[in-house]
Each structure stands twice: as C-alpha cells, then as structure tokens.
Amino acid sequence: MSKPKVIVTRRWPVEVETQLKALYDVQLNESDTPMSEDELKLAMQSADALLPTVTDPITADIINVENRRVKIIGNFGVGYNNIDINAAKEQGVLVTNTPHVLTDCTADIAMLLLLMSARRAPEAERMVLNKQWTGWGPTQLLGQKVTGKTLGLIGFGRIAQAMARKAHHGFGMKILFYVPSAPDQAIVDELKAERCDTLEALLSEAHFVSLHCPGGAATKHLINEDRLRLMRPSAHLINTARGDVIDSDALIKALKEGWIAGAGLDVFEGEPNLNPGFLTLNNVALLPHIGSASEETRTAMGNRVLNNIAAFFAGNEPDDRVV
C-alpha cells in the first residue's frame, strides 16, 4: 500500500523531518524559501496533506483550487488565521494546529521583551556595540523597575497565564486581565489576579500591557491611537500575539511623541516587511517572531503535527482539529 503524500512548506527540525521521511512520501522544502501562491496551489493538487506554517497564507483561492487532493492541512503553529477557515470548512478540508507545546517559550519571550523595554536594553546594547559608552554615570539610561509593578494582560489563555505566573511569582507583579469569557477561578486566585470590566480600564491602570489575544478581523487594530492615548506615559506595550492587533502607525506615533515609554514586539503587521518607522526609534525592542524558537518547542510542535496527520490517515479524530 502506498504511503500518503505530504508536502511541507518550510524547513522543520531535523528530528521531525526524519520521521516524516520514514512515515510518508514527503516533499520537504530544502531551500526554506516560502512557497508562492502557485506552488501552494500545486501542492493542494498533488498531496494528501499540506503542512504549512503560520506565515503561509492559505487563502480561499488556494483551498478552492480545481482538482484539489489535499484532505488535511496540518498547520505548524498554535495560530491559524493564516488559513481561510471558512473556505476549508466549505470544502471539507480538515485543519489542525499545535497548541499547548509552545506556551512557556512564548511567555518567556514576552517577559524578555518586557524587561528589555523597561530597562532600555536595546538602546544600551547599541551604545556598547557602537563604541559610544564612555563609562558608568548616575543618570545614564535610566529605565523603569519591573518588580512590584502592574501587568495588564489582554487575553487570559495559556500563554497569558504562563506569563502571569512568571511575573507574579518571579517579580511580585500585580496581575490585571481583560477577557470576554470567565477564566478558571482557581488560576485567578493563585495569581491574585483582577479582572477588568473593560479594555480601557486595563490600559489606563497597568504599567505594562501584554497582548495575548488571537488575530483576525475581530481584533485587527484593537490597539489603536485612541487606546494608546489611554495608557500611562510610563507604560510599555508588549506583543507576542499577532502583529495586526496593533495599528503600527499609531504605535510609532505614540512612541515618538511619548504617549507611552516603550514597546517590545515579536510580531508585526505584514511581517517580515517591517514598518520602517520602527527602525527610527530608540524606545522599542524588536525581535523576529521567535516566541516559540527553542529546539525543544519547535520539535514538539512538529511532533504535534505528526500526531494529528497520523490520526487522520488512520481514520481517527486528530486531537488538535480546529475545523
């Protein structure tokens, strides 16, 4: 019996690629060059499973391609707003993601960005690298203390809760959160967290605001000019969620004009095409979408995809089905 045909859109950890070679008739992306729309359409016509990443736009046109063969899209990532879910549902294409396994590493990066922004680490590093440091001074690069401050979380899912634990138990931070649905009360009690009735209330009170909400039309530009103006002048905004949750132009204006003190970003609108305004700023920490970029986590994400497609080809329900 022939093995199912599987196409992978980018390079994956070697351990996972080795398993794919053993289990399937697999086409790997040895060059790691993002696939074009035409290449993705051809993949949909020639494989039984397509394994994209969160940066591969799997549009309705791609899903609706004539003579489609793909029956399952195993997305490498917890987010799946890169996939037209409605089109997949209409066409009967099953979609899975990779939750749970990237929680801690993404929360670590959120805390890293918070600390970098608060203590002006990017600006300080540039001073050293550019040989501009002339020695210690009492007023040089004064940042803001993190311990004991208030962290506001927009969204309160697994990653937000993991960040809250690090911030509360590690840095003694007070935790505020805003989320439409009620979370597990035991977790709220553990963190001594307070739920804000409105997003605006959280923005006006928190010293640090971290985004942990899903992407998509409902949250596009959730953080806009009006909401940035509600934040404290000493506040910092952290984003490890999705780039389009923030209006980039509004944030650049806020940072330039001092509405807020700083920002730490791991995701961007239209990435990898960065709004050039960010490159003119000293008060922003910029990372290239590395929230889950540890060997352990990326391998675990790949294994999660493997488990999902194995279940599907065995006629069973994948654990991480989203449609």
Which 3 state secondary structure label does DSSP give 204? helix
Fold of 5-101+295-313: Rossmann fold (3.40.50)
pLDDT in tens, 256-269: 999 999 999 999 99
Give CATH 3.40.50.720 domain extents, the chain.
Answer: 5-101+295-313, 103-286
Fold of 103-286: Rossmann fold (3.40.50)
pTM: 0.95
CB 50 within 8 A of CB 27: no
By annotation, the residues acting in catalysis are 242, 271, 289
pLDDT in tens, 284-311: 999 999 999 999 999 999 999 999 999 9
pLDDT in tens, 128-183: 999 999 999 999 999 999 999 999 999 999 999 999 999 999 999 999 999 999 89
CB 96 within 8 A of CB 305: yes
- List of E strands, the chain: 5-8, 25-27, 49-51, 72-74, 94-96, 150-154, 174-178, 194-195, 208-211, 236-239, 262-265, 284-286
Of 30, 11, 13, the C-alpha closest to 297 is: 13
pLDDT band per the 50, 70, 90 thresholds, residue 313: very high
